[in-house]
Amino acid sequence: MTVTGDFPTTQGTSADAASRRRLLDQDWQKLVRAGGILALGQVFIALSGMPVNFDRRLLIDPILSLGYLSLIWLPLVVSYWVGREQVLEGMTAYARGGRDVLAGAIAGALGNAGLTLLVVGITHFDIRDPLVNWSPQLLAILHFEESVWLGAVIWPVIGAATGALGGGMHCASTRITRTAVIAGLTVFGAAVLESVITDLSQGFHIEAVSDWLYGPKRGLTYPAAIVVAVAAIAVMAGIWAYRDSAMRAGLVGSRQSPAAPGESDRSRTVWRRFISRRLLGYALVIAAVVVLPLFLGRLTNELLANVGLFILLALGLNIIVGLAGILDLGYVAFFAVGGYSVAVLTSPGSPRFSPEMPWFGALFIAMLLAGLVGLFIGAPVIRMRGDYLAVVTLGFGEIIRILLLSDWLSGTFNGAQGITNIPGVEVFGLATVRGFEPRSVLYLVLFFCAIAIYVSWRLENSRIGRAWMAVREDETVAEVMGVDTVSAKLMAFVTGAVLGSFSGAILSAKVGSVFPHSFAIIVSIVILVVVIFGGMGNIPGVIAGAVVLIGVLGGPNQPGLLQEFAEYKILIYGALLVWMMLQRSEGLIPSVRRAQELHIDEMNQDAWLRAQAEADDATGGGGGNSSVGEQP
Amino acid sequence: MQLTTKQRTRVDWFLTFLRIAALALIGAGLLAFIAQAIDANNPFARWANPDALSLTGKQFRDLVVAGLAQGAMYGLIALGYSMVYGVLGFINFAHGEVFMIGAVTGAVTSSKLAEAGAWESNFVLCLLLVVFLSMVVCTVTAVIMERVAYRPLRGKPRLIPLITSIGVSFFLQNFILVLLGPGTKSYAKMPDWLTEKRTFLEIQGTRILVLAVAAVAMVGLWYLVERTKTGKAMRAVAEDAEIASLMGIDVNRIIVKTFAVGGAMAGVAGILWGLLFNSVLHTAGFLPGIKAFSAAVVGGIGNIGGSMAGGLTIGVAESLGPLMILEPLGVSGPSQLRDAVAFAVLIIVLLVRPSGIFGERLPSEERT
């Protein structure tokens, strides 16, 4: 419906095109509102304790710590958002300029005035009783351990500066902005990945690199930060240059514009080249994944093993939620079934029944049990409305946890003490996978991830996969078209359950013990966030979601790269879920079909507008603005 | 085609089997309980659970009253779920967190009032003030939630706002955690005349107070919905939003009001939680929220009187169920399973009578 961006649409008359607005011709109401929202956000961030808790984690050695970053990023985002203007089709956008910079600066300054109030408030009142972070430490960070006056004055100034930067992003061309953002993110990523990069350079015996990149206090040294940023900019410039030359040669362009009749030959070779390059890419990724763990240290391997566990879980949930469109909030139940059945069957410490089976045998039984539980949970809920189903599956998940915890079944599951002493995995006499050897666990996880990816990929393109997608799009229509909706949905439950049980089985061998509290409902929610963040129904998306979220923030019981975030990660997962639903419900790497389903209204509207525009062109009159008031 | 019908009957058979099994289990438990109550040595009771102790009349009454008091609280929360579902057709998962915020507000204000010395000297006035503050905070929370998270999603598929509300729920929970810290927030000590057992049937005073407050709140809500213009507009929007807007009703405004009223009721319920349990944690909203949703379903979603009745049913069921059904059947430590019982009630009701005991009232296009 709308075109955002800084290019005027073609239909306007040239007289009002690119007219510049005066500096003070601002939308004051919007600015004040944005400032208010920003102030509330900043005060919340300050009082949540992030600046204090993150203060010791340096990102760029003497300049920037994660604590201060937590107070700086929001003005940037809000002031960028203030400058966004929706330009209706057929209208002309104003030219961007100093006015946008000023708007961003005003919003940023207004917002950070909230921090000024906070500084004054903390010096004069003590309400530490309900608000735990209303503390002298916070005050010290807010006024840079100088005077209160400095703290009160400097924050609006910082806000104005960051805000001007955020608003100014609209003035520069898209390429420059994008390059700047990517350079910033690269520097941030390099700082966050400190432990992984140090680990890698030790593995390859090039410690000099990490020693040079990171100072003694774990942050990037600032020359290193500059070099990283310059490198990122250079890479981006290279990409733009390559695209330009390709466009000129008609290579990339042929994908965007409809191919002319004589062009088909050439575009086919392009297509073939594209495929082979893609295959080459896959091969490289696989090789890297297989070889890299050999060069990584314990911590990184452990981290990757956790990520792998969540990839497995997310792929399983992706079949239920992403492909079949059933919102299962009790997915943790299958995780628990896998974990506990392996624990009971393999551990000598299991109280009632302890056959001490080998792990693979136990895994087989765990899969069977999980499939049965999937059937048992799936059958009663299959006829329910989608939202009732969500709550009932959540109820089943909780019931399983409560039963595992209860005295009634403690004879078998040992209640809150859990089952310990679970032996490792004997891989046919070749090797033993144990929790204290993260590399072996990682290889086991990778093996099962490969199975899960292959299974999901084949299923997605099979008859049952198409049935799932049909059910997801419209159950009634699917049924009319001859899809057996009940058995399709049950199949989704069972497949998802079996994949989830893999993960549980590996977890119990990895940790060596299982406890009921590892299977709380929050695990289901985090897996759901991973699937939605990555892109429902899309395998690469789901994997990317798990790598980014679990790798950086960590799982509900597993630490990630930013261990400082431990107490904030569920907060962030919640906010992320809301934000994704509001802004990008199809996820980071969307499945094309899913995105179409989610945006069907907008696509219809676009089609309608396009048709209107064509009709206008055909009649030759109408002018640019005629279609604006008549939208349905 | 043959296969399709066959598969379908198989699932239906399984469902019928589950329904019968669930009802049979309840029946057997109740029978064993009755048998044990008549004579602990009778052979059926012995066979079911040789160690079971039946309840004395006094224990039974205490359990029922405790269940009713909690159930009244669930009922007040359930109103919020029910009204929002009636108007917008989605489960506002975060409503339990609104309730928790009410309970936390009560804890903070009551302990501040106690510090100032007003709590003991002027209990009734302070309680009114605390209830009022909690209602205000919860109303504001609910309205902001609607504005930020749900309004942009109007008209999207039903699961999208549901997933959003899960996110809101965990956000609010951790919002309170990071602002107020992980410790338990205690209420100020209730005055002695309230906590001691009163002569009237020896019921604890707080429980009588809880039931009374819930009753007042219900009457107020009933008046609002059935006797005022706003209530009429709410019912109209619940019936059919599009037609209502054609009749000159500002649908957005009515939706905001619905959230506000639901939030206010959750605020009252939060204080009732404080009266009953004296302390609150940031996670306190989750289980009562789910149970209240169960109550709304049990009573028939969209049905205001039904929500209260459903709440009382769930409250009594989770208080009596473990001791009357599970213990006679030989389940040890049955009180640990009370949450499981609440979920089981939801599942059984949805299996046996999905439209709830009193029938659901849904917008015309939601009815299936």
pLDDT digits (tens, 9 = 90+) for A84-133: 777 776 777 777 777 888 888 888 898 888 888 888 888 888 888 888 88
**Nearest CA-CA distance, residue B331 and chain A, Å:** 6
Q: In the structure, what pLDDT confidence band is assigned to residue A2 with cuts at 50, 70 and 90?
A: very low
Distance (Å, rounded) from C-alpha B300 to C-alpha B356? 4
Residue A155 sits in the same domain as residue A96: yes
Residue B340 at interface with chain A, using a CB cutoff of 8 Å = yes
Are A393 and A510 contained in the same domain? yes
CB burial of B252-280 (b: ≥16 within 10 Å; e: otherwise) equals eebbbbbbbbbbbbbbbbbbbbbbbebeb
* Same domain as A377, residue A313: yes
| pLDDT, tens only, A461-507 | 899 999 998 988 888 888 888 888 888 889 999 999 999 999 999 99
Report strand pairing: A2-4 vs A431-433.
unpaired
| Option in A131, A395, A484 nearest B4 (CB) | A484
User: pLDDT tier at A622 (50, 70, 90 boundaries)?
Assistant: very low
* Tokens at B53, concatenated: 């102790």
Nearest 5°: phi and psi at B191? -65, 155
CA atoms of A213 and A222, how far apart (whole Å)? 9
Residue A64 CB coordination number (10 Å): 19
Task: Classify residue A4: in a domain, yes or no.
Answer: yes
Hey, what long-range contacts does A549-555 have (CB within 8 A, 24 or more apart)? Answer: A549/A573, A549/A576, A550/A306, A550/A307, A550/A310, A551/A303, A551/A304, A551/A307, A552/A192, A554/A306, A555/A306, A555/A309, A555/A310, A555/A523, A555/A526
User: CB–CB of A379/A492 below 8 Å?
Assistant: no
Judge: A395–B153 Cβ closer than 8 Å, yes or no: no
How many Å apart are CA B90 and CA A342, to the nearest integer? 38
For residue B340, the tally of other CB atoms under 10 A from its CB is: 24
| A357 and A504 belong to one structural domain | yes
Contact by Cβ (8 Å): A501, A369: yes
The reply to whether A407 falls in a domain is: yes
Does A587 touch chain B if contact means CB atoms closer than 8 Å?
no
Q: Total domain count for chain A?
A: 4
pLDDT over 70 percentage in chain A: 88
Angle (nearest 5°) at CA A543 between A539 and A546: 140
Domain boundary among A117, A151, A172: A172
Cβ neighbours of residue A473 under 8 Å, at least 6 residues apart?
Answer: A325, A597
User: What would the mean pLDDT of A246-269 be, rounded to a whole number?
Assistant: 55
Q: Is residue A543 part of a domain?
A: no
Closest CA to B267 of B41, B77, B74: B77
pLDDT at A495: 92
Q: Considering only CB atoms, which chain B residues are within 8 Å of A49?
A: 178
| In a domain? residue A563 | no
Mean pLDDT in residue range A9-24: 55
As beta bridge partners, residue B280 has: B185
User: Residue A56 is inside which H or E element, if any?
Assistant: none
pLDDT at A11: 44
| The pLDDT of residue B105 | 93
Share in percent of chain B as helix, strand, coil (round to 5): 80, 0, 20
Query: For residue A221, what are its two tokens?
Result: 């040294």
pLDDT tens, A399-423? 999 988 888 888 788 888 888 888 8
Asked if the Cβ–Cβ distance from A47 to B179 is below 8 Å, we say yes
Whole-number mean pLDDT of chain A? 82
Q: Does B171 touch chain A (CB under 8 A)?
A: yes
Token duo for residue A620 = 């030759």
The predicted pLDDT at position A623 comes to 43
Least confident segment among A180-184, A409-413, A508-512, B330-334: B330-334
CB of A132 less than 8 A from some CB of B: yes
Yes or no, beta carbons of A130 and B167 under 8 Å apart: no
Nearest-angstrom CA–CA distance, B74 and B71: 5
**Chain A residues inside the 8 Å CB shell of B163:** 327, 528, 532, 577, 581
Using a CB–CB cutoff of 8 Å, tell me whether B334 touches chain A: yes
Mutate to test the interface with A, among B5, B12, B163 (most CBs of A within 10 A): B163
CA A308 to chain centre: 15
Inter-residue contact B67 to B319 (CB < 8 Å): yes
For B108, the token pair is 């903070």
Chain B window 66-105: which residues touch A at a Cβ cutoff of 8 Å?
90-91
The first and second tokens of residue B321, run together, are: 């169920």
Pairing relationship of beta strands B185-186 and A86-88 according to DSSP bridges: unpaired
Q: What is the dihedral of CA A379, A383, A385, A389, to 10 degrees?
A: -10
- Compute the distance between CA of residue B7 and CA of residue A616 in angstroms, rounded to an integer: 55
Predicted local confidence at residue A3, as pLDDT: 44
Does residue A377 sit at the B interface (CB-CB below 8 Å)? Answer: no
Strand partners, A433: A425
Burial class of residue A279 in the structure, from the number of CB atoms within 10 Å of its CB (0-12 exposed, 13-18 middle, 19+ buried): exposed
In a domain, A534, yes or no: no
Subunit contact A571:B160, Cβ cutoff 8 A: no
pLDDT band at B35 (very low <50, low <70, confident <90, very high): confident
Q: How many CB pairs under 8 A join A and B?
A: 169
- In DSSP notation, A72-140 reads HHHHHHHHHHHH--EEETTSPPPBPSHHHHHHHHHHHHHHHHHHHHHHHHHHH---TTT-TT-SHHHHH
Is pLDDT above 90 for A310?
yes
In this predicted structure, what is the pLDDT of residue A307? 92
Question: pLDDT tens digits, residue range B69-123?
Answer: 999 999 999 998 988 888 888 889 899 999 999 999 999 999 888 888 888 888 8
Contact flag A388-B340 (C-beta cutoff 8 Å): no
| Range B66-316: architecture per CATH | Orthogonal Bundle (1.10)
Query: pLDDT at position A9, please?
Result: 44
Cα dihedral A527, A528, A530, A531, rounded to 10, equals 120
- A103 and A244 in a common domain: no
**pLDDT tens for each residue of A565-615:** 888 889 999 999 999 888 887 777 777 777 777 777 777 777 888 888 888
Residue A547 lies in a domain: no
Give the CA distances from residue B89 to residues A111, A319, B162, B243, in Å, rounded to whole numbers and listed in that order.
36, 26, 10, 16
Q: Identity (one letter) of the amino acid at A435?
A: G
- Of A115, A166, A167, nearest in space to A144 by CA: A115
Question: Is B8 in Cβ contact with A486 (below 8 Å)?
Answer: yes
d(CA A412, CA A347): 12
Q: Which of B160, B166, B350 has its CB closest to that of A384? A: B350
The more confident residue out of A241 and A424 is: A241
**Domain final residue pick, A154, A172, A190:** A172
Are A111 and A179 found together in one domain? no
Of A131, A388, A573, the CB nearest to B179: A131
Task: Report phi then psi at B298, rounded to 5.
Answer: -60, -45
Contact A513, A333 (CB under 8 A): no
**CB-based contact, A396 to chain B, within 8 Å:** yes
> Any CB–CB contact under 8 A between A578 and chain B?
yes
Question: CA A424 to CA A294: how far, in whole Å?
Answer: 20
Are A87 and A235 found together in one domain?
no
Choose among B300, B9, B287, B259: nearest CA to B143: B259
Average pLDDT value for chain B: 84
Supply the angle between the helices A28-47 and A66-83 in degrees, to the nearest 10.
160
Q: Could you tell me if residue A268 is inside a domain? A: no
CB of B63 less than 8 A from some CB of A: no
Q: Mark A183-207 as b/e (b = at least 16 C-beta within 10 Å).
A: beebbbebbbbbbbbbbbbebeeee
Q: Cβ separation of B168 and A578 shorter than 8 Å?
A: yes
**Cα(A22)–Cα(A135) distance, integer angstroms:** 44
Is pLDDT of B195 > 70?
yes
Contact B301, B317 (CB under 8 A): no
Which residue among B18, B148, B171 places its CB closest to the CB of A571? Answer: B171
A583: closest chain B residue by CA? B152
Residue indicated by tokens 């733009």: A240
What is the percentage of chain B residues whose pLDDT exceeds 70? 90
Q: How far apart are CA A512 and CA B358, in angstroms?
A: 50
CA atoms of A194 and A220, how far apart (whole Å): 8
Residues of B in contact with A535 (CB under 8 A): none
Identify the pLDDT of residue A630.
40
pLDDT at A45 > cutoff 70? yes
pLDDT tens string A345-371: 888 877 777 787 888 888 999 999 999
pLDDT tens-place string over residues B315-341: 998 888 888 888 777 777 777 888 888
Rounded (10°) CA dihedral A604, A608, A611, A615: 170
The rounded radius of gyration (Å) of the Cα atoms in chain B is 22
Q: How far apart are the first and last CA of chain B?
A: 24
Q: Which of residues 105-124 of A touch B (CB under 8 A)?
A: none
* Residue in A133, A383, A578 closest to B167 by CB: A578
Say how far apart CA B292 and CA B11 lie, in whole Å. 29
| CA distance linking residue B221 with residue B224, whole number of Å | 5
Contact B153 A581 (CB under 8 A): yes
B346 interfacial to chain A (CB closer than 8 Å):
yes
H or E segment and range at residue B123: helix B123-145
The pLDDT score that the predictor gives to residue A271 is 58
Q: Give the structural domain span for A93.
A: 1-13+20-172
The owner of tokens 């002695």 is B192
B288 neighbors B342 (Cβ within 8 angstroms): no
- The pLDDT value recorded for residue B75 is 92
Mutation target for A interface from B133, B170, B368: give the one with most A CBs within 10 A: B170
Residue A398, chain B, CB below 8 Å: the answer is: yes
Do B171 and A41 contact (CB within 8 A), yes or no?
no
A370 shares its domain with A482: yes
Residues A305, A180 share a domain: no
pLDDT at B41 over 80: no
Whether residue A479 is found in the same domain as residue A363: yes
Q: Could you give the CA distance from residue A472 to residue A483 in angstroms, rounded to a whole number?
A: 12
